[in-house]
């Protein structure tokens, strides 16, 4: 045991993988998918084209991913879940049951990833309806992933602008480097496990409030603020009490989160601009100013969760569905990383520094 080796809590600063999938340039506020800037991807692509890009490295803007019905075994399992079950648990259960029924081999494949991405939104919508005492419905032919999710959730197909808003959110959330859930997926697949197990593990990581729950909390914050004229006092009070303001600051970004910028454009372009969106835009400007005054030198810029909340509320999702919808988006990135890690084919096994008792013996 070497005492000279450096311990980094949370593995901060440790390079755990080499990847050609996504590049997070926190200092300059850039995010690249296979080299393409996120704002270009969101403005010109669809979730189907982004999934294909992350899996293959090639840009095919017209590629289609047909939304899939919920497999019978998955639907049967969802019916057994209590109504109070967390939607993340329902999504994890759906993928686990699907994986149990498939003959998943090694290495994982892009076709397996596409199957998960095609039925997962349908499974989440089915659970959302079941917990309300309503029967699930099948996706309408010809709809994209985002539109079909909203159609299965609400019972009618959304207007094109609303579907486009959710599609933009799914694209913006599809990939973000070696975050906690992606690392979990890579660690699992590195044991030569299967893609369903890796995605389930990633969902477990994303379920934690430090990773995937912030957009729902942003909605609560906007409710507390209530009106733009109260935003400054609210922000000053939060900072004075050393409380977190969700939707601001990021472990990686030291500039404005490019995903937030892309989603703000989407939110502003939605067909109806409700009062809460005006509140979000106005509150953002006030909060950034208060941060600059009370935390000078701290890089506390708007992150993706702030406008993710605006978009997700705008398309009619209940706040507790936000994390699971994020997981649906991230299936694309997780799957790409799983396939990339399988190509490395080396188990992930870091060391731990022992800080317990020295050798001792049980009493006679």
Q: Residues 10-65: pLDDT tens digits?
A: 888 888 999 999 999 877 888 999 999 999 999 999 999 999 999 999 999 999 99
128: in domain: yes
| Three-state SS at 22 | strand
**Residue 36 host element (H or E):** strand 36-37
179: in domain: yes
Q: What's the pLDDT at 214?
A: 64
Structural domain total, the chain: 2
| Same domain? 81 vs 184 | yes
Cα separation of 30 and 33, whole Å? 10
Mean pLDDT of 323-327: 95
| Same domain? 203 vs 310 | no
| Same domain? 204 vs 218 | no
- The percentage of residues in the chain with a pLDDT greater than 70, rounded to a whole number, is 95
| Same domain? 201 vs 326 | yes
246: in domain: yes
- Nearest residue to 333 via CA among 266, 264, 262, 259: 259
| Same domain? 103 vs 248 | no
Q: What's the pLDDT at 295?
A: 84
Domain range for 170: 67-210+322-344
| Same domain? 226 vs 295 | yes
- The percentage of residues in the chain with a pLDDT greater than 90, rounded to a whole number, is 68
Q: What is the DSSP letter of 235?
A: H
Mean pLDDT, the chain, rounded, equals 91
| Three-state SS at 81 | coil
| Three-state SS at 23 | strand
Higher pLDDT, 328 or 273: 328
Residues noted as catalytic: 250, 305
- Nearest residue to 168 via CA among 311, 359, 347: 311
| Same domain? 161 vs 273 | no
Last residue within a domain, chosen from 294, 314, 334: 314
Mean pLDDT of 62-72: 97
14: in domain: no
Pair 258, 25: CB distance under 8 Å: no
Last residue within a domain, chosen from 292, 314, 336: 314
| Three-state SS at 64 | coil
| Same domain? 203 vs 254 | no
Lowest mean pLDDT among 139-143, 153-157, 305-309, 338-342: 305-309
Q: What CATH code is carried by the domain that includes residue 232?
A: 1.10.230.10
| Same domain? 188 vs 220 | no
Tokens in use for 90?
A: 């329902």
| Same domain? 267 vs 154 | no
Q: What is the pTM of this model?
A: 0.90
9: in domain: no
Q: What's the pLDDT at 1?
A: 43
User: Crossing angle, helix 110-130 and helix 47-56, to 10 degrees?
Assistant: 140
Pair 85, 126: CB distance under 8 Å: no
| Same domain? 268 vs 168 | no
Q: Which residues contact 202 (CB under 8 A, 6 or more apart)?
A: 181, 182, 184, 185, 188, 327, 330, 334
- Nearest residue to 307 via CA among 249, 264, 255: 264
| Same domain? 252 vs 275 | yes
């Amino acid at each position: 045991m070497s005492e000279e080796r450096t311990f980094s809590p949370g593995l901060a600063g440790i390079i755990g993988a080499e990847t050609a999938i996504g590049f997070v340039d926190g200092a300059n506020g850039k995010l690249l998918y296979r080299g393409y800037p996120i704002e270009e991807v969101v403005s010109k692509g669809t979730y189907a084209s982004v999934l294909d890009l992350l899996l293959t490295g090639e840009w095919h803007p017209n590629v289609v991913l047909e939304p899939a019905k919920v497999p019978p075994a998955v639907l049967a399992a969802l019916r057994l879940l209590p109504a109070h079950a967390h939607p993340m648990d329902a999504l994890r259960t759906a993928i686990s049951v699907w994986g149990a029924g498939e003959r998943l081999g090694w290495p994982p494949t892009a076709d397996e990833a596409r199957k998960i991405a095609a039925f997962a939104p349908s499974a989440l919508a089915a659970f959302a309806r079941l917990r309300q005492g309503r029967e699930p419905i099948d996706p309408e032919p010809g709809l994209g992933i985002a539109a079909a999710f909203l159609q299965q959730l609400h019972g009618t197909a959304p207007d094109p602008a609303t579907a486009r808003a959710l599609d933009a959110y799914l694209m913006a959330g599809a990939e973000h480097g070696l975050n906690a859930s992606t690392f979990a997926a890579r660690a699992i697949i590195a044991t030569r496990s299967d893609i369903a197990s890796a995605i389930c593990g990633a969902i477990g990581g994303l379920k934690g409030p430090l990773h995937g729950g912030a957009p729902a909390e942003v909605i609560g914050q906007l409710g507390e603020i209530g009106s733009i004229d109260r935003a400054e006092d609210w922000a000053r009070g939060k900072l004075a009490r050393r409380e977190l303001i969700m939707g601001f600051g990021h472990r990686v970004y030291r500039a404005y989160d490019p995903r937030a910028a892309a989603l703000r454009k989407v939110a502003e372009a939605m067909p109806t601009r409700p009062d809460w969106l005006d509140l979000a835009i106005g509150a953002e400007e006030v909060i950034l100013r208060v941060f600059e005054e009370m935390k000078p030198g701290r890089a506390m810029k708007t992150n993706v969760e702030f406008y993710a909340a605006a978009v997700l509320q705008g398309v009619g999702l209940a706040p507790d569905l936000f994390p699971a919808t994020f997981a649906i988006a991230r299936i694309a990135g997780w799957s790409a990383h799983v396939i990339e890690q399988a190509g490395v084919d080396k188990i992930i096994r870091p060391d731990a520094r022992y800080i317990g008792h020295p050798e001792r013996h049980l009493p006679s």
